[in-house]
Amino acid sequence: MLIIAGLLAAFVLLLIFGKRRGRLCRWRRQGAGAAPGESLYRCMYCGAEAFTSDGNPPLICPREDPPQKG
């Protein structure tokens, strides 16, 4: 019972404090257009483009007006 309560509390905390910017973004790696050592990602939802040096998709949307739910 204690484990279930802990998991429920962790889930609620993730909902409250989880990242909000860029939550709707769906990043796809593009094959060309990036400098050596960088990766170019394009969002299929809002059309934003971002470069990363670690090979992972961006964590937040780089647009001035990121997409909103609803």
H/E element holding 49? strand 49-52
Query: Where exactly are the structural domains of the chain?
Result: 21-70
**Which pLDDT value is given to residue 19?**
58
10 Å Cβ neighbour count for 48? Answer: 19
Burial readout 37-47 (b: 16 or more C-beta within 10 A, e: otherwise): eebbbbbeebe
**Which pLDDT value is given to residue 7?**
92
**Which pLDDT value is given to residue 69?**
58
**Which pLDDT value is given to residue 8?**
92
**Which pLDDT value is given to residue 4?**
93
Q: What is the pLDDT of residues 23-68, one digit of tens each?
A: 678 889 887 766 777 888 988 888 888 888 888 888 877 776 655 6
* Res 20 pLDDT > 60: no
